[in-house]
Amino acid sequence: MLSRVSDDSLWIFGYGSLVWRPAFPHRRRAPASISGYVRRFWQGSTDHRGVPGRPGRVVTLLPADHHSVRAETGDGGAPGAIPSAEADGWPGDPTCPGTAYEVGPEDSAQVLRSLDHRERAGYERIELDLEIRSESGGSEIRRGLVYIAGPRNESYLGPAPLAEIALQIASAVGPSGANPEYVFELARSLREMGAHDPHVFAVEAAVARASRRASQGASQSERSRR
């Protein structure tokens, strides 16, 4: 059953690193989704999973009817390339699965300060309806905050062929760690909650292939030096 509830709790929706590493105090977490948006590895990261001049790629959300999403025909985002907007469910009912966190009023100011800092490289807070799954199997709608990096922020990279996205991620590393870890942790968490995201899973597989090729290449050149 779907119910619409509103009270003083602060709800935050995570769809990227906030899914597996919230790192803020919360009273409760639950699988959730938002309608009308799709998740893409189209945001550059120079402060967490890359560095200036060698940005990594992290996720942002785009409205499912955005022209660059509608232009996708497969291959991770480039025109001509899987997963397409249709593969996410568009134009029927696109939804982005993630995790909703309920933050108590005693923590909300500090949590927002730290998230504003963590997501400062291009992300803005917006308020959306979250569909939150309850333990009884039903769901409820709450207003919640979501950090989204829009196409006009200076770190935005936009679509690229899947192989290009994977190569960039495979070789990127930043202050928060290696970029592939971000992809693998997100994909693992989505699978754990039974959520499906063809774009994330396609990028995960392509990054695994690119990383394998890179380490095979490295051990071959190591052997040839001996």
Q: Please tell me whether residue 18 binds ligand SIN under the rule CB under 6 A.
A: yes
Residue partners of 20: CB distance under 8 A and separation at least 6: 185, 186, 188, 189
Contacting range for ligand SIN; rule: CB under 6 A; set: 8-16, 104-112, 152-160, 209-217 = 8-16
Active-site residue identified among 72, 119, 131, 164: 119
CB of 175 to ligand SIN, least distance (A): 13
- Measured CA to CA, the distance from residue 12 to residue 96 in angstroms comes to 14
CB of 119 to ligand SIN, least distance (A): 6
SS3 209: helix
- Measured CA to CA, the distance from residue 161 to residue 107 in angstroms comes to 41
Contacting range for ligand SIN; rule: CB under 6 A; set: 10-18, 74-82, 105-113, 125-133 = 10-18
124 carries an active-site annotation: no
Q: Please tell me whether residue 147 binds ligand SIN under the rule CB under 6 A.
A: yes
Q: Please tell me whether residue 44 binds ligand SIN under the rule CB under 6 A.
A: no
Q: Please tell me whether residue 58 binds ligand SIN under the rule CB under 6 A.
A: yes
Contacting range for ligand SIN; rule: CB under 6 A; set: 15-23, 27-35, 103-111, 187-195 = 15-23
- Measured CA to CA, the distance from residue 161 to residue 150 in angstroms comes to 20
Q: Which is nearer to ligand SIN, 74 or 176 (CB)?
A: 176
CA distances 196 to 67, 155, 158, Å, are 23, 27, 22
- Measured CA to CA, the distance from residue 109 to residue 176 in angstroms comes to 24
SS3 169: helix
Range 73-132, binding ligand SIN (CB under 6 A):
119
CB of 167 to ligand SIN, least distance (A): 20
Give the Cα-Cα-Cα angle 187, 131, 95 (nearest 5 degrees): 50
* Catalytic residue ranges: 119
Binding region for ligand SIN (CB under 6 A): 14-18, 58-59, 119, 147
